């Protein structure tokens, strides 16, 4: 591997990945291909090692431009982070989800095949498995049962990627991770939204009764898992990645309020998300046993780092929440109140 194409590198996980990997692997070139949607932010890459980092503003659905990038940089490895990633937005409209998450992934796979890349790593999600009741965990053999158009589009992409492996021998790897949290996460997601609202003394909207459960993983741990799968994962395999760290939404929100010394009276229970998955929990024994990966951060450290980052980077999020995000927020949370 020499020339690695990282798509969606201006988003939350992609930017954390690039910041870590450009320094860790000075002999690799990292080409960040990103459309810069509402979720993509060039400021997320401030401070990245510039000697081996390149940026191309391109839509993964634009096959001609994608091809030009493969040629220009002699791409030999692809890591596909690019996606529409927010479930609530997929409820407003699925078009961009189908385009980017399915059509865009197929365009990348086709180029990867044509240019005979060494590896294609598809970044997927535990949401492809659907929802759990109070017990059990998702393993790699749990049947796919996506419930939102977001997770259905990610499931489709996984199946298409595996078909490229089976049919054409493309060296595909897939990771399915649980909920990430950490620096640079766009304010629409639960943890940054609650931190920012608490800092602004505005209400913290919890969907339904707050009993839904997610398995939270610090973003750097996800990036290190991707690093392991990229280097020593077996082609054609799926690897689940999780934090073994389940929290009910209400308990996370109360913890954030406590850490920020804010009153619980800021909590507002609002109308539930349509089709809201009850619980996600990941069994990551495969990646732990086979690739020797396990999380480094415990939740106490991870959440404190995250809260501190949002406290120290108010300029970053104030710019976001004062822009187009205001319209999204109004639409989403007025709907939730009605
Ligand atoms: P994000 O929404 O923060 O970032 C997505 C990035 O993709 C943005 O930079 C955006 O500009 C870019 N992008 C979107 N459409 C594009 C297109 N058509 N062409 C090129 N670039 C495009 O997402 P994230 O939270 O960083 O998630 C990254 C990946 O990880 C996604 O594939 C997501 O499904 C997966 N994932 C996320 C989580 C999580 O908790 N956030 C957990 C598991 C898996
Ligand atoms: O599990 C992995 C997935 O995690 C990723 O594939 C997705 O890209 C990522 O967005 C995330 O999906 P969720 O829907 O689980 O994350 P979100 O932060 O949107 O919501 C987490 C939980 O919090 C969920 O039960 C809904 C609830 N919630 C969320 C928001 C934004 C609220 O109660 N209120 C809110 O305002």
In a domain, 292, yes or no: no
Q: Do 270 and 121 fall within a single domain? A: no
- Output the domain CATH number for residue 193: 3.90.25.10
Q: Find all residues with CB under 8 Å of 272, minimum gap 6, and list them.
A: 207, 208
What per-residue confidence (pLDDT) applies to 289?
98
In a domain, 132, yes or no: yes
Question: Where in the sequence is the domain holding 319, given as residue range(s)?
Answer: 183-214+244-274+298-329
CA of 262 to the centre of ligand 1 (A): 31
Q: Which two tokens stand for residue 118?
A: 């060494």
Ligand 1 site-directed mutation target among 11, 87, 190, 220, most atoms within 8 Å of CB: 11
Q: Do 265 and 318 fall within a single domain? A: yes
What per-residue confidence (pLDDT) applies to 337?
65
- Output the domain CATH number for residue 151: 3.40.50.720
Number of domains the chain is built from: 2
Q: Do 76 and 136 fall within a single domain? A: yes
CA of 234 to the centre of ligand 1 (A): 24
In a domain, 24, yes or no: yes
In a domain, 253, yes or no: yes
Q: Do 18 and 98 fall within a single domain? A: yes
Segment-wise mean pLDDT, segments of 10 residues, the chain, 338 residues: 95 98 97 98 92 98 98 98 98 98 99 98 98 98 98 99 98 98 98 98 98 98 98 98 98 98 98 98 98 98 98 98 96 79
Q: Do 6 and 86 fall within a single domain? A: yes
Q: Do 72 and 129 fall within a single domain? A: yes
pTM: 0.99
Rounded to whole angstroms, how far apart are CA atoms 194 and 268?
11
Question: Which residue in this structure is represented by tokens 């109004």?
Answer: 330
Rounded to whole angstroms, how far apart are CA atoms 333 and 338?
9
Q: Do 311 and 166 fall within a single domain? A: no
CA of 193 to the centre of ligand 2 (A): 10
Pairing mode, strands 213-218 and 119-125: unpaired
Q: Whose CA is nearest to atom 25 of ligand 1?
A: 12
Q: Do 173 and 39 fall within a single domain? A: yes
What per-residue confidence (pLDDT) applies to 56?
98
Rounded to whole angstroms, how far apart are CA atoms 114 and 164?
12
Rounded to whole angstroms, how far apart are CA atoms 272 and 299?
26
Q: Do 143 and 189 fall within a single domain? A: no
What per-residue confidence (pLDDT) applies to 187?
98
Could you say which ligand is closest to the alpha carbon of residue 176?
1
Q: Whose CA is nearest to atom 14 of ligand 2?
A: 87
Q: Do 94 and 168 fall within a single domain? A: yes
Burial pattern 234-257, b for ≥16 Cβ within 10 A else e, equals eeebbbbbbbbbbbebbebbbbbb
């Amino acid at each position: 591997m020499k020339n690695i194409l990282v798509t969606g590198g201006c988003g939350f996980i992609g930017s954390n990945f690039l910041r870590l990997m450009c320094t860790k692997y000075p002999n690799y070139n990292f080409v960040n291909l990103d459309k810069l949607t509402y979720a993509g932010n060039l400021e997320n890459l401030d401070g990245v090692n510039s000697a081996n980092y390149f940026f191309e503003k391109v839509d993964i659905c634009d096959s001609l431009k994608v091809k030009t990038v493969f040629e220009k940089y002699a791409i030999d490895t692809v890591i596909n982070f690019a996606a529409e990633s927010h479930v609530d937005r997929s409820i407003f409209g699925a078009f961009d989800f189908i385009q980017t998450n399915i059509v865009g992934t197929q365009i990348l796979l086709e180029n990867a095949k044509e240019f005979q890349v060494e590896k294609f790593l598809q970044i997927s999600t535990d949401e492809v498995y659907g929802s759990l009741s109070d017990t059990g965990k998702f393993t790699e053999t749990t049947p796919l049962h996506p419930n939102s158009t977001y997770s259905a589009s990610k499931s489709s992409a996984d199946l298409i990627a595996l078909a490229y492996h089976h049919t054409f021998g493309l060296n595909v790897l897939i990771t399915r991770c649980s909920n990430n949290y950490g620096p640079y996460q766009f304010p629409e997601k639960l943890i940054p939204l609650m931190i920012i609202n608490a800092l602004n003394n505005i209400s913290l909207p919890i969907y339904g009764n707050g009993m839904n459960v997610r398995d939270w993983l610090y973003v750097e741990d996800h990036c290190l898992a991707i690093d392991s799968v990229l280097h020593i994962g077996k082609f054609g395999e799926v690897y689940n990645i999780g934090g073994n760290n389940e929290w009910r939404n209400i308990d996370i929100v109360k913890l954030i309020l406590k850490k920020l010394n804010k009153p619980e009276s800021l909590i507002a229970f609002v109308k539930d998300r349509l089709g809201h998955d009850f619980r996600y929990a990941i069994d990551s024994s495969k990646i732990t046993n086979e690739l020797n990966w396990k999380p480094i951060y415990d939740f106490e450290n991870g959440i404190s780092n995250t809260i501190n980052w949002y406290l120290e980077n108010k300029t970053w999020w104030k710019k976001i929440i004062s822009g187009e995000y205001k319209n999204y927020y109004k639409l989403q949370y007025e709907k939730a109140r009605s």
